[in-house]
Amino acid sequence: MAEKIPERNSIPEGHTWDLAPLYPTDQAWESHYDEIERELPRYDDYRGRLGESAAALKEAVEFDLGVSRNLEKLYTFAHLRSDEDKSNQHYLGFHQRAMNLYTRASELSSYMTPEIQAIPDDVIAGFLKDPSMAEYRFYFEKILRYKPHTLSTEIEEIIAMSGDMSHAASEIFSQLDNADLTFGHITDESGKDVELSHGNFSSFLQSHDREIRKKAFFQYYRSYDLHKNSIAAALHYSIKRDRFYSRVRNFENCRSSALFSDNVQDEVYDNLIETVRKNLGPLFRYLDFRKKMLDLDELHFYDTYVPIVKDVPYAMPYEEAVATCVRALAVLGEEYTGTLEQGLLGGWVDRYENRGKRSGAYSSGCYDSPPYILMNYRDDNINSLYTLIHEAGHSMHSWYSNRNQPYVYHDYAIFVAEVASTFNEALLSAHLLERYESDRKMKAYILNREIDNIRATLFRQTMFAEFEKLTHRTVEENRPLTLEVLRDIYRGLLKSYFGNSLVIDEELTLECLRIPHFYSSFYVYKYATGISAAIALSRKVRAEGNAARDAYLTFLTLGGSGYPLDELRVAGVDMSQPGPVEEAISHFGSLVDQFIGLYE
């Protein structure tokens, strides 16, 4: 009998997240929804009055922040419930209603930013000198930066009204990818008939039976091939949306628009791509060694995830994974590890895959809830252990931020978020290498895994970042972005980033159609910068002890109270320079040398 993906109602309660801290019942959510809806008309009470006095401005801002805080709580519950089973129409309705309320609030509050920016410079400067406004000075600094990119009140209202519509391409892709696509069944190494899914695809790619991983690869991409035109259209119109908003906001291009809120210059993005492209030698050396050790005439993508070190059985139940994470992070102190352990075992995590559940993993939550983690944990896949500690990094970042910052600054930028998560992964790798120091085979296995992790996070995500740059430029130059153009761009990047070390199967050019992050433009480069900063900081903390640890924990408490590059300087790394990326690539090369030497 085939092993089937379980239904949601068959998952034990102890293996799911506890959303009671958000709302104990659906009715409580409904009541809060009605309460927020009744509050929204109060936005009109402040229209035209923001320049009256510091007190009037503060009162309006605090009302707006209060609405946002309540909406975040409402939305968090709705999207978490919906992600449990994307086919559940009841919670899909909750999610859509929460999004609708967000849009209505955006419409009603859309006058605030242009009205604040219209206050004369000397007047707003006087307001901000008032001691009662001290908490909000950075908040207003960020608003005033957008003066050249903010339009009249009437146009801002129209832009706000477009909010729901602007998510159409992303929502269509999400429903297709998570609810409608099916991938058939595969016979695993034990002879069991297993349904192929997003959750177990990577496990099949790690099979030592080449025919199994080859079959999984082509079968998986066959589903995307059957829907390639629809997905290409969705991605195209997502990029056209980015172009529309960048033009409306008077930005030079889509990328400048996306980087502006973090105060990150285009050079940071371009330096990442340039630095990685100049230093692909260690990657080619590793791939060539992989082909040799697997005794292959040709190396294909489906050969790049199977561990080179064979006959190292891996099985780690979820509870043991939590204990391993706690030991790996011990250098961060008892408050960090104690809080994390309690959360991972006590209701923060939705652990296992079920039918219809959103693929992948993430950390979510809001100011008034614990951090929550969605997982599709697999006992037989070491990637699940790394994913758990990665998302735990996000969650603990939220935990520290929420307890040390007021609501207005609790939400940190994604740029720094990816540092907190990959920092944890770096500590896990260091811990596992020490743990298996006397077991040369297991040490080689962990080295192999760490190399593959950096390869996927630094080199691959940089390739994704360049894909976004090129596809957006294509639209900005009014050139067609058809399915074939998308595949041609991606094919060229695959050849550049893998050289002659990898045979590029035509199916692999469909990979660009299955990356959810492409619907959040210019996001993926932060994984590459994040792992570069994380490698530098994890080495610093392990080498320098308490002072470096305290600086890092201080960084976690900063939330959104500063710009990302400034916050990272507090932690002890300067990402405006190419040094951290060069250090990460050098570290990768060192690991490759260690692995080849140890293996041989």
Q: Which residue has the tokens 């009437």?
A: 154
Q: Determine the Cα–Cα distance for residues 505 and 491; give it in Å rounded to an integer.
A: 9
Among candidate residues 72, 115, 391, 466, the one labeled active-site is 391
Are the C-beta atoms of 67 and 105 separated by less than 8 Å? yes
SS3 per residue for 396-456:
HHHHHHHHHCCHHHCCCCHHHHHHHHHHHHHHHHHHHHHHCCCCHHHHHHHHHHHHHHHHH
Helix then strand then coil, in percent of the chain rounded to 5, is: 70, 5, 25
Q: State the amino acid at position 425 in one-letter form.
A: E
What one-letter code names the amino acid at 494?
L
The amino acid occupying position 3 is E
Pairing outcome for strands 362-364 and 372-374: antiparallel
Closest CA to 451 of 309, 269, 274: 309
Can you give 261-298 as a three-state secondary structure string? CCCCCHHHHHHHHHHHHHCCHHHHHHHHHHHHHCCCCC
- Three-state DSSP class for residue 195: strand
CB atoms within 10 A of CB 62: 14
Neighbours of 241 (CB within 10 A): 21
Cα of 1 vs its chain's centroid, Å:
37
Whole-number Cα distances in Å, 324 to 206, 330, 531 = 22, 10, 21
- Do the Cβ atoms of 79 and 170 come closer than 8 Å? no
Q: Which residues pair with 195 in a beta bridge?
A: 185
For residue 537, count other CB atoms closer than 10 A to its CB.
25
User: Would you call 391 a catalytic residue per the annotation?
Assistant: yes
Six token digits for residue 560: 């959104």
Q: Are 480 and 232 in contact (CB under 8 A)?
A: no
Q: How far apart are the first and last CA of the chain?
A: 42
- Three-point CA angle 147, 149, 152, nearest 5°: 80
Catalytic amino acids? 391
